[in-house]
Structure 1
Amino acid sequence: MVTLDGASTLAHPWEPWSLLYQLGAALVALWWAWLALDRAWLRPRRLERALRAQGLRGTPYRSPAGDVPLNARLNREARARTMPLGCHDVVPRAMPMFHQAIKENGKMSITWFGSVPRVTITKPELVREVLSNKFGHFEKLSFGRLQRLLHNGVSGHEGKKWAKHRRIINPAFHLEKLKRMMPAFAACCTELVDKWEGLARGDEPYELDVWPEMQSLTGDVISRAAFGSNYLEGKMIFQLQGELILHVGVAMNRIYIPGYMYLPTKSNRRMKQIAAEIEGMLKRIIAKRERALKAGEASSDDLLGILLQSNVEHSKGNGNGNGSSSTTSLTIDDVVGECKLFYFAGMETTSVLLTWTIVVLSMHPEWQDRAREEVLQVFGSRAPDYDGLNRLRIVTMVLYEVLRLYTPLTALQRKTYKPMELGGVRFPAGVVLVLPLLCIHHDRDVWGPDADEFRPERFAEGIAKASRGGREALAFFPFGGGPRTCIGQNFALLEAKMGLSVILQRFSFDLSPSYTHAPFPVGLLQPEHGAQVRLTRLRH
């Protein structure tokens, strides 16, 4: 039908569907708006009320940014200040946000990372309970794509995948395997001090920044002892990972915006490029080793060989009869993920431990002399061996005390995925529990009034009796705790003992006038402006 003005009165057949589409789009938009409102305001406020109703105090929730701007400001202010030489009260500078929160609101206090509430847990018995995760109430906090860029190894897995990787990797860190790595440890350390002696002029002190030197040393150890390659083959991986750590550290402190990591920003493109380069290098190393192992041209004594061999044996023992099983063995991508983790954790953790140990022993020459005397008594001028390293009581005490005062990984985080009770507080699902290890290691209620002082003798009777209250109040967590305790802690401690022993055999050291004491976490707790010391060759 047509009207006088020529307009048709017939409805287009698609108009009802168009209305339905518009209605559907409106409903979807309303749903997303509701989700955004719930995530940004309603849910955080519900969680805050639930926590405050039980007596917890902390910073109020004001915006989706949470305490991120406050944390950034406090970090800037902390980095603007250096610390007096000989002062080990590092928490105010290294963790200013948590230091202020605990000081103002108590040891179990609330802060906000964006719209997510974080509650600090500082009582050692509660920390042990969280790390033990007996009832499965907690999950390891994942930073998703950011974490996978840095590493994708056993420490980032959960459930059955974590159990499988841990089971396959465990043999690589058994006692006999570690003993076989001692010659590689010794060779790397000897090459380092030989280089230092070549730089020194007679008996005159020689100034050196030991921070990059320790990174080179531990990178060399990882390359030889873990992957059978020399430092030159792994050097680019270390450099790239160092750059990647800086990018990831910045990104982790930003407000979380869904999908942000997929935007083609300059930093995101660079992180993706670095991760691809590292993965490519590691795949080439792995492929080369697999070919050598199949041809019988390489041993499986190093970590990579052990990992690949354990993988093969595990597949044969648990497979379906044809020698392989995708459910019980590791894929090449899995092996690459574990290699990235070994490079990251194995190099960075031990390098910061050795660096801070040299800095602290420069501040406390009496303990440097005691440690050197012990090393010379046990080894003389010969290369340290496994049995001798295990007899180093004073050196072990020194390393433990440095780990306490300058804990490499300053905090761990766990998330409640269902309601649970801890320390008399019932936590709803979705709350992040922060375990500020550095704060715990400096807690005067736990370690006594001298908690900020360098006193290795507190470990004279072992870890169990070092803190107040003995074994029941065990409060030493440099390698985490519970079933997820760092799998490579014995590797790291042996490497640190070897490195320190060889250095003490050949050099004495004191701080350079150019050194500034400025611990700050960039991934791990690092010397922000380097670790300049003066080395003096010893004449025996």
Structure 2
Amino acid sequence: MANSSLWALLSITVAYFLVSRVSEYSSSKSYFITAGTIYIFITLFRILFHVFLYPNFFSPFKDLPTVKGGSLLNGQLETLLREPQGDPFRRWMNQIPNNGFIRYTHLFNKERLFVTSPEAMSDVLVRKSYDFVKQPFLKYSFGKVVGVGVLLAEGDDHKIQRKNLTPAFTFRHIKSLYPIFWSKAIETSEALHNILEENPYEVINIGAWLSRTALDIIGVAGIGLDFGAIKNPENELANKYASVFTVKDPLAKVIEYIAEFIDLRIVLALPLERNKRLATAAAYIRDFCRQVVRQKAENLQREKNEKGTTNGNDICAIAFESGAFSEEGMVDQMMTFLAAGHETTATSLQWAIYMLCKNPAMQRRLREEVLSVVSSPGTNEPPLNSIDSLPYLNAICQETLRFYPPLPISIRQAVRNTTILNRFIPAGTLVLTSAWASNHSTELWGADADVFNPDRWIGPGKANTGGAESNYAFLTFLNGPRNCIGMGFAKGEFLSVLAVLVGRFEFELEYPDCDVKIEDSITNGPEGGLKVRMKVLGVS
């Protein structure tokens, strides 16, 4: 909508003309009342136009396949609020005939474009990726917790950050971090073993353990600091992240939509529990990261002065070595590593264990494969040359990431006039891709797209594709220059932790006959956490 101040100025101008020149057409011959009346009339007309007339008669997208039904005023808002993120898009993608676009509306019938074909996704994610930026609301709210690092940076700033961080995420460097992944997985297995020795029937919320494990891993591998979250269930840093990522928040979606119409500063200043929790967590995490960055800089400088060089192998040390980041820039990167680098992997590991519980034959098959190369998963010697080559372990990892992508949707905003599939897209248009939808597309994966089938990843040429022909069938890590820089890190961590736990324990759901629901939070984990019973196997 046009700037409100311009409409107010127009109202005042017209009121002045009416009162001074044709007062019989003014309200009580009062400038104030006349201007107010005109402004109210203009506002009502603008609402009528943008909510009802524009989307139905004037929108450049009115000819696109559009989701049917919904509210006359708020389109598909109720569906989007009621269902877990991604579910509506998966259904629409498979059920609504389209040629690369599906249009839907939500609050006040504001339009969004859901791109569905590989060609359309290629335009958004690869060929014109910098024409589309993350929503301002995401940057200003979520960015408070994850920092404006490589995840949220845009344009040239993103290119510079990505270039200077890439050496820390090469295949060779990630492989050098496997001993960290393995040792932290063992530390977790030892802690769980001790619990089960005292009470073999203890019900374990495995999600909480996996989150703390992943936080410790990113701590050591990312910044060279052991947070001790595995040993300490009351770890303050872990609790702050849990308060943001795992707390169900019915208002989150509503606030996101309202932020499209109201100044972000006003939205984030509202006295809501969500805003208070976010502000508290953000302040603690940023202050914590700032202290660590300063200490890290001092340690690296001391080492350089004493030895003439630094031997830091963690991601933070490599970023420091590039010289491309200021202190606050390093704080942002660290916040990004900690947030994006632990909760998403922990969520994926929960779903892997859930599916292994629901499919005992898969669990036995995976365990046999792991034990064929790791006779004692409780040792501190990871089989670096074996874990990556285990086909069924890789298949379970890939199929879990396909079936339960931790970040189900990605919303971009056109920052300039551009095109998708040669169709004009005006600046400001909201464009959405959905890993939840693409990863379950029957067109891209076949009739069994909604079946959890690890074997689709086994066979010549299938280990990295699952048999899908399109690069856009698997969007868990996105694609193109904005794909997840930590993909190799996440997979290596996933493989190591799952191998250790499955090799040492047998898992069963607390209620085996019940299906776990999806928690509609940032990362779409199991509702209430995944509660399991664990049996220690006859290996040490």
1:15-414 alignment runs, 5 A limit: 38=46, 41-42=49-50, 45-46=53-54, 49-58=58-67, 67-72=76-81, 74-75=82-83, 94-99=85-90, 101-102=92-93, 105-106=96-97, 108-115=101-108, 116-134=110-128, 136-143=130-137, 144-151=139-146, 152-201=148-197, 206-232=202-228, 235-245=235-245, 246=247, 250-254=251-255, 255-256=258-259, 257-258=262-263, 259-267=265-273, 268-296=275-303, 299-311=311-323, 329-381=324-376, 382=379, 383-414=381-412
Which stretch shifts more, 415-424 or 161-170?
415-424
CA distance, structure 2, for counterparts of residue 155 and residue 64 of structure 1: 34
AA aligned to 2:169 is F
Instruction: Tell me the TM-score normalized by structure 1.
Output: 0.80
AA aligned to 1:58 is V
CA distance, structure 2, for counterparts of residue 32 and residue 299 of structure 1: 67
| Superposition deviation, residue 449 in structure 1 | 1.7
| Superposition deviation, residue 349 in structure 1 | 1.1
| Superposition deviation, residue 156 in structure 1 | 0.8
Name the SS for the 1:369 alignment partner. helix
CA distance, structure 2, for counterparts of residue 38 and residue 287 of structure 1: 52
* Residues 353/34 of structure 1: CA separation in 2 closer, same or farther (3 Å cut): same
Alignment match, 1:531: 530
Alpha carbons 1:203, 1:536 under 8 Å: kept: no
Name the SS for the 2:329 alignment partner. helix
Alpha carbons 1:121, 1:433 under 8 Å: kept: yes
Alpha carbons 2:434, 2:475 under 8 Å: kept: no
* Residues 303/64 of structure 1: CA separation in 2 closer, same or farther (3 Å cut): farther
% same residue: 22
AA aligned to 2:102 is S
AA aligned to 1:531 is L
CA distance, structure 1, for counterparts of residue 398 and residue 452 of structure 2: 11
Name the SS for the 2:408 alignment partner. coil
* Residues 97/452 of structure 1: CA separation in 2 closer, same or farther (3 Å cut): closer
* Residues 406/29 of structure 1: CA separation in 2 closer, same or farther (3 Å cut): farther
User: Number of residues paired by the alignment?
Assistant: 485
Deviations 1:18-42 (A, max 9, x none): x99x989998997899689658843
Which stretch shifts more, 218-227 or 130-139?
130-139
AA aligned to 1:218 is A
| Superposition deviation, residue 507 in structure 1 | 1.3
CA distance, structure 2, for counterparts of residue 223 and residue 354 of structure 1: 18
Which stretch shifts more, 56-65 or 184-193?
56-65
Deviations 1:233-279 (A, max 9, x none): 79322211221344888334322222423535143344223211111
CA distance, structure 2, for counterparts of residue 330 and residue 221 of structure 1: 23
* Residues 406/41 of structure 1: CA separation in 2 closer, same or farther (3 Å cut): same
Name the SS for the 2:450 alignment partner. coil
Deviations 1:475-502 (A, max 9, x none): 1111010111100010000001110111
| Superposition deviation, residue 53 in structure 1 | 4.1
Instruction: Tell me the TM-score normalized by structure 2.
Output: 0.80
Which stretch shifts more, 151-160 or 491-500?
151-160
Name the SS for the 1:407 alignment partner. coil
Give structure 1 stretches of 5+ with no counterpart: 1-15, 76-92, 312-328
AA aligned to 2:66 is R
Deviations 1:120-154 (A, max 9, x none): 22223322332103475433333242132122211
| Superposition deviation, residue 100 in structure 1 | 5.8
AA aligned to 2:116 is T
Alpha carbons 1:467, 1:475 under 8 Å: kept: no
Alpha carbons 1:189, 1:499 under 8 Å: kept: yes
